[in-house]
Amino acid sequence: MDRVLNHFIVSLRGAGVPVSVSESIDAAQALAIAGYADRQIVRSSLAATLAKSAAEKEIFDACFERFFSFQSLPSPFAAGPENGNEEQPGDMPPIGGMIMEGDLGGVALAVRDAARSVDLQSIRFVTQRGMFTARILQALQLDQLDRFVADLYREGSAGAEGTARQLEQGREALIDMVRRFVEEQYDIFARESTERIIERYLWDVRLTELEERHYDRMHFLIRKLVKRMNERYSRRRRRAKRGALDFKQTLRANMHHGGLLFETRWKKKRMNRPDVVILCDVSRSMSTVVRFCLLMLYGLNEVIARVRSFVFCSSLLEVSHIFETCPIAEAVERLRTGEGLDIHMGRTDYGSAFWDFTNRHLDAVTGKTTVIILGDARSNYGDPADELLQKISERSRRLIWLNPETPTMWGTGDSEMKLYRRLCDLVMECSTLRHLEQLVRVLVKLP
């Protein structure tokens, strides 16, 4: 059982539960006291020593069910009626004898022993499944079985051909059994590792190049990021809310105690969450970046006091009401499709968008407002209207421009980025999830 426990701990680590050496020793000692007879007692003993939080408890439960699932491996092994009582040839490989006898239990044990001999628990990547399948089949001496079947066909007798056909059927069933067993072991030891590799890739992949099949996973990562930043900012705000010690008020409050400081008074520290106004270029080249940026900003309810959002292409339109009446994911999808939006989707015109905003919505910007512009600054050689952007900048607390293009592309072709950047307080590349995380840190001034 020590080896089984070690393998289970390996599976837990692969699923993301950190298990130290001391915790492994505690688990072994707990099982030595509780015993292995009762499945529920084993689960409770291991959970008490290996799972340290609610999240780890959920992972532990899933791993325990997968690892200790004693399901048989179904397979069509069965002895033929004409061969069931016949003595098998002495040179038949052991695995062939089990197939002829229909010994499913023996074959399953042989598969598990072969898997242990090739260290199947070290599997970590989905691409390794074929390699480990081949190694297990080699450990089962499948090549010897193939040579034995070929010899039976060369013999040519009816009995030999019948045995060869039965062995061939069993061989295919054996290969299928091994493949499914490797898949099960991959689920136990490696699937979470592969998931983390994919997540690390998505953190740095350019949003403009993101495949649609990864959208759901990216939504999940953004929800995790939003939750983490909300929690971190909330803790920071609660710690800082009390402020510094007010010596004058403290001394005044303790005068009747003869100067002994029994009561303390603290300076009240006001924590201002920023108001954000965001202008988003929703042209085709920008749609994916806008989708995930808005999804993140509207989830930061602990970081941002209020968000007013505007979208533009050839004209500008406020869409804040959509986020107030629909769930965030549904609102973002409506922006992507343009459903129910009175906006002209022609050639991108930044000058026209700035004119619409300054003449119709400039009252949304105050000295407490952080204005974010999300766009590539490519205005198709139209009027850049930089004097209007300067008016927005002067009226706002901060003006931040997020550009999904790399800095080397700024100012090339029809890009007006070099003209706009001198009017901004901060210009950032915003093309990956990691860039979005940096934006949050800028907004809340986290270290």
**Whole-angstrom distance, CA of residue 3 vs CA of residue 24:** 12
In-domain check, residue 212: no
Q: What is the CATH number of the domain that holds 365?
A: 3.40.50.410
What's the chain's average pLDDT?
A: 81
| Residues 195, 14 contacting (CB under 8 angstroms) | no
Please check whether residues 58 and 107 belong to one and the same domain.
no
Please check whether residues 364 and 293 belong to one and the same domain.
yes
Please check whether residues 301 and 406 belong to one and the same domain.
yes
Task: Decide if pLDDT at 70 tops 70.
Answer: no
Task: Decide if pLDDT at 99 tops 50.
Answer: yes
Highest mean pLDDT among 45-49, 79-83, 226-230: 45-49
Highest mean pLDDT among 28-42, 158-172, 354-368: 354-368
Predicted confidence at residue 371, as pLDDT, reads 94
Please check whether residues 239 and 340 belong to one and the same domain.
yes
Task: Decide if pLDDT at 88 tops 70.
Answer: no
The three-state secondary structure class of 407 is helix
Structural element, H or E, at residue 371: strand 369-374
pLDDT band at 110 (very low <50, low <70, confident <90, very high): confident
Q: Which domain holds residue 134?
A: 94-193
Highest mean pLDDT among 107-121, 284-298, 351-365: 351-365
Task: Decide if pLDDT at 266 tops 80.
Answer: no
**Whole-angstrom distance, CA of residue 412 vs CA of residue 179:** 54
Q: Report DSSP letters for 146-204, one per residue.
A: HHHHHHHHHH--HHHHHHHHHHHHHHHHHHHHHHHHHHHHHHHHTHHHHHHHHHHHHHH
Q: Report DSSP letters for 4-47, one per residue.
A: HHHHHHHHHHHTT----HHHHHHHHHHHHHH-SS-HHHHHHHHH
Please check whether residues 169 and 224 belong to one and the same domain.
no
pLDDT band at 233 (very low <50, low <70, confident <90, very high): low
- Nearest of 203, 200, 196, 193 to residue 125 by alpha carbon: 193
Please check whether residues 303 and 411 belong to one and the same domain.
yes
- The tens digit of pLDDT for each residue in 234-261 reads 655 555 555 677 778 888 888 877 777 7
**Whole-angstrom distance, CA of residue 23 vs CA of residue 305:** 43
In-domain check, residue 82: no
pLDDT band at 84 (very low <50, low <70, confident <90, very high): very low
CB count in 10 Å sphere of residue 295: 19
Which of residues 350 and 195 earns the better pLDDT score? 350
In-domain check, residue 313: yes
Task: Decide if pLDDT at 81 tops 50.
Answer: no
Please check whether residues 60 and 149 belong to one and the same domain.
no
| Residues 152, 144 contacting (CB under 8 angstroms) | no
Domain count, the chain: 3
Please check whether residues 134 and 239 belong to one and the same domain.
no
Please check whether residues 40 and 182 belong to one and the same domain.
no
**Whole-angstrom distance, CA of residue 242 vs CA of residue 270:** 9
Burial degree of 440 (CB within 10 A; 0-12, 13-18, 19+): buried
Please check whether residues 141 and 37 belong to one and the same domain.
no
In-domain check, residue 413: yes
In-domain check, residue 213: no
Predicted confidence at residue 236, as pLDDT, reads 53
Please check whether residues 232 and 98 belong to one and the same domain.
no
Question: Considering the chain, what percentage of its residues have pLDDT values greater than 70?
Answer: 86
Domain boundary among 67, 82, 117: 67
Question: Considering the chain, what percentage of its residues have pLDDT values greater than 90?
Answer: 19
pLDDT band at 388 (very low <50, low <70, confident <90, very high): very high
In-domain check, residue 27: yes
In-domain check, residue 182: yes
Please check whether residues 298 and 423 belong to one and the same domain.
yes
In-domain check, residue 36: yes
